[in-house]
């Protein structure tokens, strides 16, 4: 094989010695494309190695023959007659070198090369198709996201973050706030040494660790529940019975709602907004009511009749937030004591706290079964001991009660 200094540049570029500059440039472009590394990414190592060496020789030959002065010197050194840069009318047959005379590979090599070239061409076509398909899929995804954003901005109900809380908008001009309760431990239950009203099912007092959650600042009101009923149970006939918000009590907490109906409200909200809404667990409710320090009432240790609707001081429910902010919990949650009992997600277990003693429990959800579901907070006719933050009670989930309502929890998103 010729060395770089002695190799036949004309043979490498598959040219006659009297080739014109245009022929030199045209052949060079063809050969560079043929041996370029981008075309050989999937070829065998032997083929790639051969192509790399060949491309070096092609570039070296072109650098000489494309320069008139270098070409003249090369022709003179090689003992070849000087040639004119003008195209001859008819090349001398004896001066024409055999095509590809410099190649040393076999017929099998050529067949392998052609097979590799075909596979490479098919690969590039498939890659282009996949790229176009990905681009089209990405375009459709962005269009779908834009449609979803547009729908979220124009449809109800919808939810959005605001500072450390959430704003839930159920209809035009109708909204409520959810308050953030940070992750961490709090003291749950009662200590008889500090609370003479402590009951057996509130003991022992223990530590519970909860993940972050958002809880409704107020219980769900009649007018808010009306939106749910209109959306899920539209009136078909004038004579058909249909739930109606009590006149003049639109902003009072909704009552006569079973646990099943409260859970259905949360499911509807989740489906409509794409966020997870549910009833609070018993532990979440208690932490939102008393904070992390184990206080007896949302506002502190002592009973204060001016901070809650209880003790039959009023004939029934009062508008939500009427005792705010004086009666609010440390997190700013209103009406946690008095006004209405509130459904929780847990089944009631009388011995549930006994199971938790001697270790910190995380995100407890109560027993797996039980006769009734937990209610918390007391109502307008409850005594002071029944509206303590730690007081526990339960009702049958399929029944409705005139003094039981609910508030909602949203999981972080």
Each residue's pLDDT tens digit, 194-249: 999 999 999 999 999 999 999 999 999 999 999 999 999 875 544 446 789 999 99
Q: Let me know: does 353 contact 347? Beta carbons within 8 Å.
A: no
Angstrom CA distances, 209 to 188, 283, 364, 372, 404, stand at: 10, 9, 9, 25, 27
Out of 3.40.718.10, 3.40.50.360, 3.90.1580.10, 3.40.920.10, the CATH code matching 158-410 is 3.90.1580.10
pLDDT per position as a tens digit, 322-335: 999 999 999 999 99
**Spatial separation of the C-alpha atoms in residues 366 and 374, rounded to whole Å:** 9
Among 27-31, 37-41, 256-260, top mean pLDDT goes to: 256-260
Dig out the tokens for 162 from the structure: 């605001």
**Spatial separation of the C-alpha atoms in residues 405 and 341, rounded to whole Å:** 6
Q: Which of 1-15, 99-113, 156-170, 227-241 has the lowest mean pLDDT?
A: 99-113
Residue 278: strand, helix, or coil = strand
Q: Give me the chain's average pLDDT, please.
A: 86
- β-pairing, 341-347 with 404-405? parallel
pLDDT at 153: 59
Our measurement of the distance from residue 152's CA atom to the centroid of its chain's CA atoms, rounded to an integer in Å, reads: 16
User: Comparing C-alpha atoms, which of 261, 189, 185 is closest to residue 228?
Assistant: 261
**Spatial separation of the C-alpha atoms in residues 135 and 123, rounded to whole Å:** 18
Sequence-distant (6+) residues with CB within 8 A of 301 are 295
pLDDT at 20: 92
Residue 270: strand, helix, or coil = helix
pLDDT at 181: 97
The domain spans of the chain are: 9-104, 158-410
pLDDT at 145: 75
The proportion of the chain whose per-residue pLDDT surpasses 90, expressed as a percent, equals 56
| Entry pTM | 0.64
Under CATH, domain 9-104 is a member of which superfamily? DnaJ domain (1.10.287.110)
Higher pLDDT, 14 or 275: 275
Higher pLDDT, 219 or 124: 219
User: Comparing C-alpha atoms, which of 281, 257, 269 is closest to residue 405?
Assistant: 257
Q: Which of 153-157, 269-273, 279-283 has the lowest mean pLDDT?
A: 153-157
Angstrom CA distances, 29 to 36, 63, 101, stand at: 10, 13, 19
Higher pLDDT, 41 or 370: 370
Helices and strands (DSSP H and E) totals, the chain: 9, 13
DSSP 3-state helix, strand, coil percentages of the chain (rounded to 5)?
40, 15, 50
Dig out the tokens for 151 from the structure: 């729908």
The proportion of the chain whose per-residue pLDDT surpasses 70, expressed as a percent, equals 85
**Spatial separation of the C-alpha atoms in residues 36 and 87, rounded to whole Å:** 29
**Spatial separation of the C-alpha atoms in residues 160 and 214, rounded to whole Å:** 12
pLDDT band at 47 (very low <50, low <70, confident <90, very high): confident
Mean of the pLDDT values across residues 139-157? Answer: 74
pLDDT at 235: 58
């Amino acid at each position: 094989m010729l060395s770089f200094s002695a190799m036949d540049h004309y043979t490498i570029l598959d040219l006659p010695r009297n080739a014109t500059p245009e022929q030199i440039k045209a052949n060079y472009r063809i050969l560079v494309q043929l041996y370029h590394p981008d075309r050989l990414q999937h070829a065998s190592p032997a083929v790639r190695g051969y192509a790399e060496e060949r491309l070096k020789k092609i570039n070296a030959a072109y650098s000489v023959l494309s320069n008139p002065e270098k070409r003249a010197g090369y022709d003179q050194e090689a003992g070849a007659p000087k040639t004119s840069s003008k195209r001859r009318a008819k090349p001398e047959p004896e001066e024409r070198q055999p095509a590809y005379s410099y190649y040393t590979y076999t017929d099998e090599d050529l067949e392998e090369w052609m097979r590799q070239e075909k596979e490479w061409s098919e690969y590039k076509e498939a890659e282009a198709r996949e790229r176009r398909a990905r681009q089209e899929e990405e375009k459709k995804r962005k269009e779908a996201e834009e449609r979803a954003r547009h729908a979220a901005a124009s449809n109800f109900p919808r939810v959005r973050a605001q500072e450390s809380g959430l704003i839930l908008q159920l209809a035009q001009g109708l909204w409520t706030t959810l308050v953030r309760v940070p992750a961490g431990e709090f003291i749950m239950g009662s200590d008889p040494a500090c609370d003479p009203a402590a009951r057996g099912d509130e003991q022992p007092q223990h530590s519970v660790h909860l993940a972050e959650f958002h809880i409704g600042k107020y219980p769900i009101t009649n007018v808010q529940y009306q939106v749910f009923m209109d959306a899920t149970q539209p009136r078909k006939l004038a004579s058909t019975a249909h739930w109606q918000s009590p006149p003049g009590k639109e902003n009072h907490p909704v009552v006569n709602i079973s646990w099943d109906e409260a859970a259905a409200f949360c499911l509807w909200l989740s489906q409509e907004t794409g966020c997870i809404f549910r009833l609070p667990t018993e532990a979440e409710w208690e932490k939102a009511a008393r904070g992390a320090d184990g206080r007896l009432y949302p506002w502190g240790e002592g009973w204060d009749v001016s901070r809650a609707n209880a003790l039959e001081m009023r004939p029934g429910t009062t508008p939500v937030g009427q005792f705010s902010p004086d009666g609010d919990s440390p997190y700013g949650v209103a009406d946690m004591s008095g006004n209405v009992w509130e459904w929780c997600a847990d089944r009631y277990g009388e011995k549930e706290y006994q199971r938790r003693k001697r270790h910190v429990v995380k995100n407890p959800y109560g027993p797996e079964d039980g006769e009734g579901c937990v209610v918390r907070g007391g109502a307008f006719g409850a005594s002071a001991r029944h509206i303590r933050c730690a007081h526990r009670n339960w009702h049958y989930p399929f029944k409705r009660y005139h003094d039981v309502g609910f508030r909602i929890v949203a999981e972080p998103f």
